[in-house]
Structure 1
Amino acid sequence: MRVVFMGTPDFAVPSLQALVEGGHEVAAVFTQPDRPAGRGKQLKQSPVKVFATEAGLKVFQPPKIKDPLTVAELSELIPDCIVVVAYGQILSRAILEIPPFGCVNVHASLLPHYRGAAPIHWAVMNGESVTGVTTMLMDEGLDTGDILLQREYAIEPDETTGEVHDALAEMGGTLLLATLDGLAKHAISPRPQDGEYSYAVLLTRDHEQIQWGRSARELHNQIRGLNPWPGAYTHFQGEGLKIWRSRVMPNLKMKNASIAVQREAPSQPGQTVGIEPDGILVQTGEGILKLLEVQPAGKRPMPARDFFNGRRATIGEAFS
């Protein structure tokens, strides 16, 4: 099949790679313009552009995909199908009507759940045990098109967004090939999205802040859901601190005086209640959370116990 590919971040690369290795004719690749990045604000190419350039594919980077000249260029490419994977721009009806097999989107959730920009983050942060990948025929709505194929993925209790992201990206490439094969053979019947839907809204700074009054399980899900980006944060001894890895301590009883100090007054959420060889024990609104890896502002990630010892902290001090 002759395909035009639209995508930008790392998540889209396995799908483009699958098209190339699967024998499809990739007529062109559309990706976002190079953006300033890093302290030097030098222009940085998107991961899709890097892969496409190395593969010798024609690359377009229009600031606005809806521009009439860009639409005309797309039409002149005569694609059988346009494949969209985390491109970052909304397609107009004029574009949606160009390819005879339609515009196929690879989305990182089991639609109609988690439509929108951050489906993997929210699936992990909400403690979902199952997510997946959906291919759909695009319409003018936000992830509202008819479903083509879906595949489930089981999320492990300690799995991070980064780990789920990588697994779903690979799954997306495989599912995309199956989808295009099914469309070419007229073996797939698109079906409307039925049932309740939800949106995975863009993350804000408020979503990153740890509220210690929540349960240990909720905080653990938040921490792993924001790993590797943008990171859950708190404060300790007046300094900002990101927490990258944690563990829920079920039914923990503080018996060993060398590990924890028993306190006459009940511990408050955010208060350190003990230290173990691999981490710091912190009281939450419900249960104990062990912090395993943290990152002070301006420093590299480090074991939580090393951080605690380096600050000459004492059990009973609190995160805020």
Structure 2
Amino acid sequence: MMKTSIVFMGTPDFAVPSLEALHAAGFALPLVVTQPDRPKGRGRTPTPPPVKVAAQRLGCPTLQPTTVRDAAFVDRLRDLNPDFLVVVAFGHILSRELLALPARTAVNLHASLLPKYRGPAPIQWALIRGETETGVTTMLMDTGVDTGDTLLSAHTPIGPEDTAQTLHHRLARLGAPLLVETVTRLMRGDLFPRAQKHADATYAPMLCKADGRIAWEQSARRIDALIRGVTPWPGAFCFRDDQRLKIIKAHPLSASAGDAAPGTVVAGFPDELRVATGDGCLCIEVIQGASGKKLSVQDYLRGHPMPVGTRLQ
């Protein structure tokens, strides 16, 4: 009996556990499609995406098209006649022609509990918007953005210490076995898709650097959620005069800031940096200044005092 054949399409670290799980489960992987190598670092050295590195380690053939609309690329996939296309954080929207190629169907793993947080940055926005739970969902692909019928989902709580980085790693590991189960059950014929409730959908747009700007008029809890949601990228920041400060880690305090305006440093314990917000105070723990070094707030304050009344913007 021939193995179930999968063309896997993915690019970043998030997709690697899924590729590894499908390989370990014994599915045939005649081709792994990923994005081209990109220049990185100060030397701008071309660097392969994580999925390419993993595919080569697993002995899977790879292809890095500059566009997925090229006729030669479409013909290459058609010639393989795979049972499934499996897509995990690939970075391109697939055409109707590509989605129709597999003998069975095209399946996607998305890092949210659909229909919430469709779009390219679901992990970050779930944190920024203060969700207490998120998860991963497998779905059938259509030409919309994460609008296809859902198949399976797995949930995980969002803890008070979670950042986009920690949640990213956890969801990647959570999604891998879910994807294996999804493909296995689709082959078995006992998994049935369910239409999304489109009226309940929310969108998670791509983040830009400006999204990390702290608005001190918001509550301490919301600012803390922002900091965790944009860590490690684009990073939360504010300004002291014309100096840009990156806030790496903080926690909200219910303590009153009195009459202090949002963004004002207020009195706290020794070696503590408390900042007034629109509701409560934010206690900053790790900060990065012009030196580029991440420092505990105690170390930072030794070289850059912030007396009570200092304004951050």
| TM-score, normalised by the number of residues in structure 1 | 0.93
Superposed CA RMSD in Å reads 1.4
Counterpart in the other structure of 1:281: 274
Counterpart in the other structure of 1:202: 206
Counterpart in the other structure of 1:308: 301
Following superposition, the deviation at residue 34 of structure 1 comes to 0.6
Structure 2 residue 68 is matched with structure 1 residue 65: yes
Following superposition, the deviation at residue 206 of structure 1 comes to 2.7
Counterpart in the other structure of 1:235: 239
1:1-320 map, 5 Å: 1-194=4-197, 195-250=199-254, 252=255, 266-276=259-269, 279-320=272-313
Which range is displaced more, 87-96 or 234-243? Answer: 234-243
Q: What CA deviation, in whole Å up to 9, does each residue of 1:261-293 have, x standing for no partner?
A: xxxx82111111134467411100110110111
Moved over 4 A (4+): none
Looking at structure 2, the residues matched to 22 and 203 of structure 1 have their Cα atoms a distance apart, in angstroms, of 35
Q: Which amino acid aligns with 1:154?
A: P
Counterpart in the other structure of 1:261: none
Following superposition, the deviation at residue 41 of structure 1 comes to 1.2
Which ranges in structure 1 are unaligned for 5 or more consecutive residues?
255-264
Q: What CA deviation, in whole Å up to 9, does each residue of 1:108-139 have, x standing for no partner?
A: 00111100000000000000001110000001
Q: How many residue pairs end up in the alignment?
A: 309
Looking at structure 2, the residues matched to 157 and 278 of structure 1 have their Cα atoms a distance apart, in angstroms, of 23
Note if contact 2:120-2:204 (Cα within 8 Å) is conserved in structure 1.
yes
Following superposition, the deviation at residue 237 of structure 1 comes to 4.4
Note if contact 2:81-2:103 (Cα within 8 Å) is conserved in structure 1.
no
Q: Which amino acid aligns with 2:37?
A: D
Of all paired residues, the percent bearing the same amino acid is 43
Note if contact 1:278-1:292 (Cα within 8 Å) is conserved in structure 2.
no
Looking at structure 2, the residues matched to 253 and 286 of structure 1 have their Cα atoms a distance apart, in angstroms, of 8
Q: Which amino acid aligns with 2:150?
A: I
Note if contact 1:114-1:123 (Cα within 8 Å) is conserved in structure 2.
yes
What SS does the aligned partner of 2:227 have?
helix
